[in-house]
Chain A
Amino acid sequence: MPNKNILLIEPGYKNKYPPIGLMKLASYHGPYGKRDNVKFIKGESEKSVLNASWDRIYVTTLFSFEWREISKSIDFAIQAAYGDTRKVFVGGIAASLMNERFTAELRWRGVRIIKGLLAEAPAIALQLDDFAEELYSDDREGTPIEDLIPDYSILDQIKDQYLYPVRDAYFAYASRGCVRKCHFCGVPKLEGAQRDAQSITDVVNGIRERHGDKRDLMLMDNNVVASANYKNIIAEIRDLGFQKGAKLERLGKPSVKRRVDFNQGVDARILCKDPMYLREMSAICISPLRIAFDHIGVRKPYEAAIRIAHDVGLHNLSNYMLYNFHDSPTDLYERMRLNIDLNVELGIRIFSFPMRYQPTDRPDRSFVGENWHRYFLRSMQIILQASHGIVSGSPDFFNRAFGDSADEFENLLLRPHHFLFNRSWFEEHDGRPQFEQFAKEFKTLKSEDRSELVKLLSTTTPSKFHELEMQASHLPLKRILRHYLPMNKDEEAKIWEKMKKQAKKLPSDVESVPEDELVEDAGLAEAA
């Protein structure tokens, strides 16, 4: 029954990687599969799809905090199905992590909200009802959609509208699941226990045959070093043309350096046990090597792993730093500091990417960890915004951005936000007297005053800071609160105008980080 009309929708959020799940569904329905007509859209801007007749509509979902964008897409899909919710299928990460919440939505009754991977035969994984004789409901023995070669050609359908930062890459998994059950992570719920996935050679060759050579190899394993098959996986990667220093020659294109990226990071607690792991890793063109550093408690294995990496010649390092979970600002500062110290000592380059924790089942980003404050989180975002979410490896820049000590860091987090936004204006230019006045008053505050201050500031949004004065317990606090009143917009615009001539100084190491190495969604653009 070819020639059915299939619509694939990715919600209109910003994301870094193409929707692999939809690409596999495209493969199931497309020229190498059922030979249906596959249409891919991102967001709801392409209204013409509302005039067509669709046999099936798939909506993918990613971050749970993008609930609003996701909802819009599901509503749009139902509209495109002329209200027939039976034709609409919703899957992906958010739909799996918040399955109950999606299912409870009355207006989506009849939509199939799929939890987990499409790892069984298509009709089973998609819950197709053969009793109702639904389309392809007899496909109870076919290859699981999860195992199909993703169809890259659908990305061309939206290339004028959206380009994924990472696209010239083979996307594959050497393993799935994870040996650990970290509470902050969605993987145990999504994928379960650690196991080997299909052969990456088959996937890479399949993609190459159908869609041409790709420069990079993006391996989305959650914890590849935990795989018993680790050495074979590395050997396979080498054999696929991703050995150390590998280059790709493509007709009519300049020769490019290849990269292998285990983009979910690797586990320091395993790496530190045997230098074999990183020695193996150094035989492929890994770039960057991402080692997770989730809390200061794993400092020892983390540091050991970095030293081994240095020994085996892996100098381009990057690490994810979870914050806003059980950690505190001091914990985060110490982790960042350690990287700076290691950079200096070993002459390597480690970038830190602080990643704010969000519970995996919450539809927004409003969560505040037990040792954090709403106000601190917003300050952290402002500081990170200036360097695209990256913590520079250069000690000078680091000290300026985050302070010389953990106390200094906490003081920065408590600074009025316009002082952080327009830092050089207030620290080095005409704004200085104003900032110095604040600094003088701030110095006189006792530590309990400071904690009262941050609590007060975290109770409301900046537009209501003027109401806080009444709530403050004593005069010095009342007085300092005046510095926190948001700046007049025109005044701020004038500052920007004057500061335009001052070239924006980004640390050179930060500037060199390609977009595809940045944190996928640091939420920097969003108000806390």
Chain B
Amino acid sequence: METNSLIFLTNELFLRQSELFGDDYKNLENNSTHTFNELSISNLEDWQNSILQKYPVLNELQIENLQNFLISLSEILETINPEKLKISEDLLLEETDLLLWRESHNGISKLFFNEYGDITYVFNGNNGRKIRGVFNNNVDYEKLIYKFLSL
């Protein structure tokens, strides 16, 4: 199996979730997987709207990149329980960068959507490891999401 693929990511996240959340996750799988998938896409739209309302300073480039990100994410959420992604959002005050971030056992992954149309991927590991990549709006969003979710 190709390791840098969404299928691999799906399987890996599923396994991690199973290990981490044990019985709770099993119950969700048994009882409401389909409902969760439907809800996830609906929640993404709500999430986007709430971000736009919360951060009216975002410009067109940021909004366009965010929308592209969410379109790709919605495809992934067909197979992954969105509750387990635990993505938070924030605004980097000085830069007016939109910041999406998530914490795992390995560290904190971040995506910055800046006003110039760049998307910066940052990972700060709990062991001190630091990764960084700056991409423009032509980035492969699915691969970017993979990177964002995989560490």
The finding on whether chains A and B are genuine partners in a shared complex, rather than unrelated, reads no
Interfacial residues, chain B to chain A (CB-CB below 8 A): none
